[in-house]
Structure 1
Amino acid sequence: MKRKSLFALSAVVVVAAAALVPVLWSGSDYLHNGTAVAATPADQAAMIKKGEYLARAGDCIACHTVRGGKEFAGGLPMATPFGTLFTPNITPDDQYGIGKWSQDDFYRAMHTGRSKDGSLLYPAFPFTSYTKVSRADADAIYAYLRSVPPVAVPSRPHELKFPFNNRNLLIGWRTLFFREGEYKADPTKSVEWNRGAYLIEGLGHCGMCHTSINAMGGPVNSAAFAGGLIPLQNWYAPSLTSNKEAGLGDWDIKDISDLLKTGVSQRGAVFGPMAEVVHNSLQYMSDEDIHAMSTYLKTIPQKDEAPEHLQLETSQQFGSELLKQGQKIYADNCAKCHSENGLGMPPSFPPLANNPSIQMPSAVNPIRMVLNGGYPPSTGGNPKPYGMPPFAQALSNQEVAAVVTYIRQSWGNHGTAVSPQQVSDLRSAPLD
């Protein structure tokens, strides 16, 4: 559900213009009733600690840190349909980072999507969600980022195709898809529900993955949280508005909380981009905030209609042949962990029977898991996760299609048969 913020011009780039975070005080001062007041060391330490927590909630490290590189030094390439963006350095380095940014500069970036010099930021930086973050929280994040070691690494220029390298075109995009404004609490809901909504819709920017985007790179707001394929990543972020996918209306709060906090639960496990979100961000959040997020997610209105059909069709006759072939492949390769009856041994080995993620209209995720394998995230609550081995070298395209068809149509599952051509397409897809 959350972040990981990576999609079209609006979400796959987690941004290069993302110099995050301002605060209302500069140095050791803060404002009280319009008057500058010296902040005590304890006040400043508390502000920094709060900001570190909030930066985790926003998963800032995921986009602004190259694997094996210095934290927040940027440089992560983000491939999009419009070209490649490179995330910026947001350490407090005066020359290459945000060392000369004021609290107001930082808040403007978070709240309005404009850089220190007033230039428009690309919406891969999730300012469309971060605009909901309160000034106090933005100030805390700024304080934290100012406390990390400065790194003198210049930001790489974006490599965008014409005309997308012209930032002025973002004016039209913003007119269509951006509404500035901090989160406003719903007085008809509980304090806990509002806290969850604030985290999910704001810092968590979960909608960036779980909401489809259009050809312009803008969110399809009429289908908020209804799921969609993450461009160029070839993972499907399931719908949170349909119990036929990842809708949580019939989940227990505990199962939702376990999944968010540890990456595994009695109902299933997370893999792919969501595993990174749990590893980098959600596992560090307090039990109270995880419970609040779960409370909000459980109340997202559920819809009867299924999302748009994304699955390549196969004939009924060929589907029957795949089903029969897949049964033997499953018995030879999968039953030891997931059981012959598909019930698995949760939470170590998730159930496949009656598992909505197996039956979704898009079979992208189960195909990728069979091909490439994977692990849930290693978290404090699940430090040694069990993983799934890859079968790309052992099974042909038709054999993968067969076993995925079998698990989608057995034990009461109602998924459609999948095509060997779709397996072929995903076999050559990038792994992240």
Structure 2
Amino acid sequence: MKKFFKVILFLVLAVVVIITAGITYVKTALPNVGPAPDLKVPLTAANIERGKYLVTSVAGCMDCHSPRDPNRLTFPVYTDSIGAGGLKFGHEFGLPGSFFSPNITPYAMSKYTDGELFKVITTGETRKGKPLFPIMPYLTFGKMDKMDIYAIIAYLRTIPSVAKDNIPEATRDFPVSILINTMPQKPAFTQRPNPADTVAYGKYLVAFAGCADCHTPQDDKGQPLPGMDLAGGNPFRMYTGGVVRTANITPDKETGIGLWNKAQFFAAIRKYQGKNLPAIHTGDFNTIMPYNTFSKMTDSDLSAVYAYLRTIKPVNNSVVKFDPQAK
């Protein structure tokens, strides 16, 4: 019997040692996506113009990296602190912890070389070797055309500095607090499709805009539900009460946008453009959809997005847009 218990004790200790060694490796050796490239992005007019368009009209960088007004429709950014960071993404959005967007104005980003900035945007590993949680869409940006990432960097070098420090450190729930070190990945860049190939270019824009991040429903582990691409239904708790759910943007004719023509699609994206956004009170409908950003996409780019969405699999998924009583 003593021999039996010794064997059990040995096995338990072996398991503990293996687990401890594994955790130590993950926490100390990862992430490791390689060094930042030796890179100097040319601040040409073309680069800056393309970068401005991507940042302000497609990728929605400032919608996450700016403080936003939760008491007005569509959560507009505060115009005096664009890019200053500090926006919280926490359990109210179904995330495993509390994460805060960093200041991406030159006030903070001047510490980064172009290569270091390129690395963090496309891999999720900071200049100090720390991992980012993929609410920062580096897994997507690492699959875009690297010339577009260069353009984003060029534009960010030119925006006004906003002196904002003391952004809180992220807190991560277990086991994400350990697994996050495994999340950064080496990029796998693609070439931006020719805009003349409308569907392919639309697919590229939909990826760049992160549409699937909100419009594809997820399981309780944050993984996309198979067969439900862009079918909507992801819940977001509003600061003023209630739960809003993302729309089904598949071409399903009953529950999606299958009956919309292009003009209706344009109207939906631009419905708040140039309007005075009203105050929101407790129990009122609100949305985190970045209408202000996407409404500035060019007609040709919105046409490409529409063309691509017409080609994806229609999914019959009825969504209750807003429930003021939900918690």
TM-score, scaled relative to structure 2:
0.70
Where does residue 148 of structure 2 map in the other structure? 137
Q: Distance in 2 between matches of 1:186 and 1:64?
A: 28
Q: Measure how far apart 1:208 and its partner are.
A: 0.5
Q: Contact 1:23–1:106 (CA<8 Å) still a contact in 2?
A: no
Where does residue 51 of structure 1 map in the other structure? 51
Assess, with a 3 A threshold, how the Cα gap between structure 1 residues 288 and 132 changes in structure 2: closer, same or farther: same
Q: Measure how far apart 1:209 and its partner are.
A: 0.6
SS in 2 for 1:53: helix
Assess, with a 3 A threshold, how the Cα gap between structure 1 residues 90 and 164 changes in structure 2: closer, same or farther: farther
**1:86 equivalenced with 2:100 (yes/no):** yes
**1:300 equivalenced with 2:318 (yes/no):** no
- Please report the RMSD computed on the Cα atoms of aligned residues, expressed in angstroms: 3.0
1:139-190, Cα deviation, whole Å (9 max, x unpaired): 1111111111222322523352542573x4124566xxx7953346789x96
Where does residue 117 of structure 1 map in the other structure? 128
- In structure 1, stretches of 5+ residues that fail to align are 1-21, 31-42, 265-270, 308-359, 369-422
Q: Contact 1:132–1:201 (CA<8 Å) still a contact in 2?
A: no
Q: Distance in 2 between matches of 1:103 and 1:144?
A: 12
Query: What are the within-5 Å matches in structure 2 for residues 165-180 of structure 1?
Result: 166=177, 168-171=178-181, 180=187
Amino acid at match of 1:363: V
SS in 2 for 1:258: helix
SS in 2 for 1:114: coil
Divergent runs of 4+, >6 A: none
Q: Measure how far apart 1:66 and its partner are.
A: 0.9
Q: Measure how far apart 1:25 and its partner are.
A: 5.6
Assess, with a 3 A threshold, how the Cα gap between structure 1 residues 115 and 220 changes in structure 2: closer, same or farther: farther
Q: Distance in 2 between matches of 1:84 and 1:181?
A: 28
**1:206 equivalenced with 2:217 (yes/no):** no
1:334-361, Cα deviation, whole Å (9 max, x unpaired): xxxxxxxxxxxxxxxxxxxxxxxxxx2x
**1:154 equivalenced with 2:165 (yes/no):** yes
SS in 1 for 2:245: strand
Which of the residues 108, 111, 119 maps onto 1:100?
Answer: 111
Q: Contact 2:37–2:119 (CA<8 Å) still a contact in 1?
A: no
Q: Contact 2:51–2:152 (CA<8 Å) still a contact in 1?
A: yes
Amino acid at match of 1:288: S
Amino acid at match of 2:287: P
Q: Distance in 2 between matches of 1:157 and 1:48?
A: 30
- In structure 2, stretches of 5+ residues that fail to align are 1-35, 69-77, 274-284
**1:273 equivalenced with 2:287 (yes/no):** yes
Q: Measure how far apart 1:23 and its partner are.
A: 10
Assess, with a 3 A threshold, how the Cα gap between structure 1 residues 23 and 298 changes in structure 2: closer, same or farther: farther
Which of the residues 234, 252, 266 maps onto 1:257?
Answer: 266
TM-score, scaled relative to structure 1:
0.54
Amino acid at match of 1:291: S
Q: Distance in 2 between matches of 1:100 and 1:107?
A: 13
Q: Distance in 1 between matches of 2:150 and 2:172?
A: 35
Where does residue 357 of structure 1 map in the other structure? none
**1:363 equivalenced with 2:323 (yes/no):** no
1:284-322, Cα deviation, whole Å (9 max, x unpaired): 11111111111111222214xx33xxxxxxxxxxxxxxx
Q: Contact 2:143–2:189 (CA<8 Å) still a contact in 1?
A: yes
Assess, with a 3 A threshold, how the Cα gap between structure 1 residues 273 and 183 changes in structure 2: closer, same or farther: farther
What number of residue pairs does the alignment pair up? 262
SS in 1 for 2:103: coil
